[in-house]
Amino acid sequence: MSDAHGHGDKPFLAHHFEDEDHQFDAGKLGIWAFLVTEVLFFSGLFCAYAIYRSMHPDVFQFAANALDTKWGAINTAVLILSSLTAAWAVRNAQLGQKGLLCLNLFVTILCAFGFMGIKYQEYSHKFHYGIYPGKDNFAPMEGAFGDYKAEKVAFVVPGDDSTQDGEAAASGGAGEEAHAGDDHAAGDEGHEVLVKWDDPNIDPILKDKLKIFFGIYYCMTGLHGIHVLLGILVFMWLLSRAMRGHFTPTYYGPIDYAALYWHLVDLIWIYLFPLLYLIN
């Protein structure tokens, strides 16, 4: 920049800090304060989630059938691995292990790309079945919700004792029975009934809530995904600096801060995974 920032012998020490420790501590406090803003940034989505889930647990339970637990779990593992490599990279930087540092940063970036690849796969799978964010184009097709048991779903099969929301279920009308015939009315075990989204008997109020679930799902995972993408950019920048040998045991702040950010992204996913994928 135009101002002469930096001390002659220490290229990365800004002029207004006394020494490298001073700069490191300031940066560390700064990144923690930033993480606080991130926590509150996501809190709005968690709040919306809590509201709609607590009011309509049955809808959430049903909707989660459209999410693939297997891929969610794999993505969790991928992120946890990248968290490990990020934390390891900090250790490498502290110890001046340039080769290992570059390797760990590289693996972190690789994991992040892997995460986004799987996310892309999941999104396109949902789009394929007509599950889009938003009201107008939301039209799930047959099979969108996997092989759930229709008996469990309050707003598709009315009147039985598995419903948690009596009023809503009572208003659900004839529901799916018309399509399914009398097969499961006799209590056949495991007989699967597919929901036809355009069935006029499905409670429209609860249909709206289903759309809202996916609105929340796309906002939460989308915003999280944007954070992953930003993380990729940051780690690429760090990798290029690490390869040029910028980081030393006395100057490794950026690695530490980026790792903290990355762990927070991981933390948020640690909560998103059970909240979205593991509802039963």
Residues of span 103-132 touching other proteins by CB under 8 A: none
Q: Which of 80, 178, 230, 233 binds other proteins (CB under 8 A)?
A: 80
Smallest separation (angstroms) from other proteins to the CB of 53: 9
Tell me: does residue 71 bind other proteins (CB under 8 A): no
Q: Which of 46, 106, 113, 123 binds other proteins (CB under 8 A)?
A: 46
Six token digits for residue 140: 């799930």
All residues at 6 or more sequence positions from 123 whose CB lies less than 8 Å from its CB, including other chains: none
Task: Tell me the C-alpha distance between 207 and 210, whole Å.
Answer: 5
Q: What is the DSSP letter of 75?
A: H
Tell me: does residue 146 bind other proteins (CB under 8 A): no
Tell me: does residue 199 bind other proteins (CB under 8 A): no
Task: Tell me the C-alpha distance between 126 and 139, whole Å.
Answer: 11
Q: What's the length of the chain?
A: 280
Stretch that binds other proteins, among 89-97, 154-162, 178-186, 237-245 (CB under 8 A): 89-97
| CB-based burial label for 36 (10 Å; 0-12, 13-18, 19+) | exposed
CB atoms within 10 A of CB 22: 13
Q: Which is nearer to other proteins, 173 or 236 (CB)?
A: 173
Q: Which of 13, 45, 107, 238 binds other proteins (CB under 8 A)?
A: 45
Q: How many residues bind other proteins (CB under 8 A)?
A: 96
Question: Residue 179 in contact with residue 193, Cβ under 8 Å?
Answer: yes
Dihedral angle sign, alpha carbons of residues 188, 189, 190, 194 = positive
Tell me: does residue 32 bind other proteins (CB under 8 A): yes
Residues between 235 and 274 that touch other proteins (CB under 8 A): 248-250, 259-260, 263-264, 266-267, 270-271, 273-274
Residue 31: name the closest of 258, 270, 263, 266 by CA.
258
Q: Which is nearer to other proteins, 39 or 230 (CB)?
A: 39
Q: Which is nearer to other proteins, 9 or 37 (CB)?
A: 37
Q: Which of 123, 129, 197, 218 binds other proteins (CB under 8 A)?
A: 218
Tell me: does residue 38 bind other proteins (CB under 8 A): yes
CA 114 to chain centre: 14
Q: Which is nearer to other proteins, 127 or 142 (CB)?
A: 127
